[in-house]
Amino acid sequence: MLSFLVFDGDLPAGSLQVRHAHLVGPDNVPVAGEIRFEAGKICCTKSSPEAAGLALQIGLDKDALLKLVPSRSGDEALDEKAFREKIRVERARRAQAREAAQSGVAESDPSPARLSPLGVLTLQTCLLPERPEPYLLSLELARHRLMLFLYKLEDWQLFDLPRDHAVMTLFEQARMTFTDALVAQRHGLGEGSEAGAATAGYSPDANRLALRALWLGIEAGERLALLNASREFGPRMSGDIHRKAIEDQPGGSAERTVRGNAAAVLSPNRVGVILPVRPVLGCAISSSAFFDRAQDVASRCCEFVSIPMRWSEMEPTEGKYLFQNTDQWIEWAVRKAKLPVVGGPVIDLRPSAVPDWLYIWENDYETLRELIYEHVKNIVTRYRRTIARWTIVSGLHANSNFQLSFDQMMDLTRICVMVVRKLHPTAKVQVEITQPWGEYYTANRRSLPPLLYAEMLTQAGIMIDSFAVRVQMGQPEHGQSSRDLMELSAMLDRCAMLDKPIAITAVGVPSGTPEAVGHPELADLNPGFWRRPWSEQQQADWASAVLTIALSKPFVQSVCWQELYDLPQPAEMPRGGLIGVSGNEKGIVDRLCKIRDAINAAQPPPGVADFSVLGS
């Protein structure tokens, strides 16, 4: 049994809403299993005895801050100050003990740092073996965060940062506090803080210290992710990273080309392919939002536009296509704005993208296959003169609507790619991965983990040019819980291991808390938020940070915001667009314009290098 003790104050939690919980195995591949809360513990039942980690949503907001210190005086500031002093005294006591044992001079530890809200985030533990006794959840979450920081410090070649650098100082605080938590597991901080049988042998002080270590570790990790992005951004845009990678090749030459064009290369010093051209920034545009303000914003913010071709909108009635709305946007982009157009996803079997009439054939695969073939042929034939890149299928691996077998998933992907190759041989073709953390796999064994699906496509010889990834957060839907910047950056690095260019085809968060969050039926899907509840300011800050991180990756070829305009009945995300329902621009528009200018200037956007996008 794999189990975790959860504290609420000084005692095990009496109740807990376990949200977005799933098990992970080696290489972050999801593991099938059952997760439940009972008697103060989260219990995980797996189908195999191998070590696994637990991922779930954790509150690190203002409310959680109040529980990080014992409530004694009723004054939050005084209680926080007293608890930090208690930590300092305990560290001094241990330092004196070391000094006496080693006959040396003990270094003075810096005062424990104050904390700021980080939001409500989905986090995970390290891989842990099964054992009869429960693990302390907060301690294992902190352990994973420190491990991830050290791993990325080496992976991003930032191990030369001086010890007095602000990021390293913050990490050192996290490491010391984690050590405090390990020491305090059984005896707490001082008299009267010992562990008891009611808390499975863990002291409440150990839990508080572990949460502080987790807090500091996440803060340090986000700053490290931004620091790496700000360092890489300029060389990525200027092409220096690609030139250096070519020179590092055996017999390398900066003039190496393929058919007259600079070639993407692999480097032993980096993960993924290194692309020769800078990435481009775009936005998805629902075809019904055609008006002057939308066109103006698109032309200012975007270097390309993506036109979602949802089957439910293109062919709402079987055999009767509605092309007018899509035609007018493509005509505007090609003739007036002179912007490249990405088409698709053409086949997306999510409920919001499937016409009602198609469900008649959900249990008749041969007929479904034929209908998909005809639909792809009709769409590609009509738009092949104006679209240079196709997102041809999306999310088949999640298998959440039409129940397909593994062979059927692979077959549909192969057919769709084959049709494009036959009808539009010069086009670029990409396959879209949804829910890239793969939470769905824990509960749905008929699905495939996202990266396993991508690897199987490559092994099957299906000729695609790149993989696309959807990175959406903040909406009460499966796979859209909020994550921190370090975890997001690490996820993109895992996608890079596919050794294909990566296109981020839908990235975004809402500009306000979605109304559905308060719905009782969606309580288990509360998506949380990053640092502060979602607002226009928070959407803009998140976009500045995440887009800079993504664009700085040498394997990312494009990044596309999820929606241009907040439709009254949005197909993607309520309040997730650049323009509000009223028609007014949001603050994110100015941020995207600045990011586009930064790409052209080969300089990181404002607010990244100084961490001001974090708002603390």
Contacts of 359 (CB under 8 A, 6+ apart): none
Q: What is the pLDDT of residues 423-463, one digit of tens each?
A: 999 999 999 999 999 999 988 889 999 999 999 999 999 99
Domains of the chain are 2-69+116-189+198-228 (no CATH), 278-606 (3.20.20.80)
Q: Of the candidates 301, 291, 236, which has an alpha carbon nearest to the alpha carbon of residue 561?
A: 301
How many CA atoms lie within 13 Å of 225's alpha carbon, on the beta-carbon side?
A: 28
Q: Higher model confidence: residue 196 or residue 507? A: 507
> Which pLDDT score, from 0 to 100, does residue 615 have?
84
> Residue 100: is its pLDDT beyond 80?
no
> Which pLDDT score, from 0 to 100, does residue 193 have?
59
Q: Higher model confidence: residue 231 or residue 187? A: 231
> Which pLDDT score, from 0 to 100, does residue 484 have?
98
> Which pLDDT score, from 0 to 100, does residue 113 have?
63
* Strands, E assignment, 207-327: 257-258, 261-262, 265-266, 273-274, 280-284, 304-307
> Residue 106: is its pLDDT beyond 70?
no
> Residue 201: is its pLDDT beyond 50?
yes
71 — pLDDT class (breaks 50, 70, 90): low
> Which pLDDT score, from 0 to 100, does residue 260 have?
43
Percent of the chain residues topping a pLDDT of 90: 73
Q: Name the average pLDDT for the chain.
A: 90
How confident is the model over 556-560, as a mean pLDDT?
98
Q: Which helix (H) or strand (E) holds 274?
A: strand 273-274
> Which pLDDT score, from 0 to 100, does residue 108 have?
44
How many CA atoms lie within 13 Å of 147's alpha carbon, on the beta-carbon side?
A: 10
> Which pLDDT score, from 0 to 100, does residue 429 have?
98
Hunting for tokens 């679209």 — which residue is that?
A: 387
> Residue 297: is its pLDDT beyond 50?
yes
> Which pLDDT score, from 0 to 100, does residue 195 have?
62
> Which pLDDT score, from 0 to 100, does residue 90 have?
67
> Which pLDDT score, from 0 to 100, does residue 453 have?
97
Hunting for tokens 């650049």 — which residue is that?
A: 578
40 — pLDDT class (breaks 50, 70, 90): very high
532 — pLDDT class (breaks 50, 70, 90): very high
> Which pLDDT score, from 0 to 100, does residue 105 have?
42
Contacts of 299 (CB under 8 A, 6+ apart): 337, 339
How confident is the model over 86-108, as a mean pLDDT?
61
How confident is the model over 561-587, as a mean pLDDT?
91
CB atoms within 10 A of CB 80: 17
> Residue 207: is its pLDDT beyond 80?
yes
Q: Is residue 243 within 8 Å of residue 254, measured between CB atoms?
A: yes
Pull the structure tokens for residue 331: 């005509």
> Residue 522: is its pLDDT beyond 60?
yes
How confident is the model over 146-154, as a mean pLDDT?
97
> Which pLDDT score, from 0 to 100, does residue 32 have?
87
How confident is the model over 395-406, as a mean pLDDT?
93
> Which pLDDT score, from 0 to 100, does residue 259 have?
44
> Which pLDDT score, from 0 to 100, does residue 258 have?
45
User: For residues 85 and 69, what is the distance between their CA atoms, to the nearest angstrom?
Assistant: 11
How confident is the model over 374-388, as a mean pLDDT?
97
DSSP code per residue over 77-122: HHHHHHHHHHHHHHHHHHHHHHHHHHTS-PPPPPPPPP----EEEE
> Residue 102: is its pLDDT beyond 80?
no
User: For residues 220 and 223, what is the distance between their CA atoms, to the nearest angstrom?
Assistant: 5
How confident is the model over 322-336, as a mean pLDDT?
96
> Which pLDDT score, from 0 to 100, does residue 268 have?
82
Q: Please name every residue paired with 45 in a beta bridge, in sequence order, or none if there are none.
A: 34
Helix axes 450-459, 485-496, angle to 10 degrees: 10
184 — pLDDT class (breaks 50, 70, 90): confident
pTM: predicted TM-score of the whole model, two decimal places: 0.93
SS3 158: coil
> Residue 269: is its pLDDT beyond 90?
no
> Which pLDDT score, from 0 to 100, does residue 390 have?
98
> Which pLDDT score, from 0 to 100, does residue 514 have?
84
User: For residues 314 and 274, what is the distance between their CA atoms, to the nearest angstrom?
Assistant: 36
Q: Please name every residue paired with 58 in a beta bridge, in sequence order, or none if there are none.
A: 121
How confident is the model over 583-610, as a mean pLDDT?
96
Minimum mean pLDDT among 128-132, 209-213, 251-255: which range?
Answer: 251-255
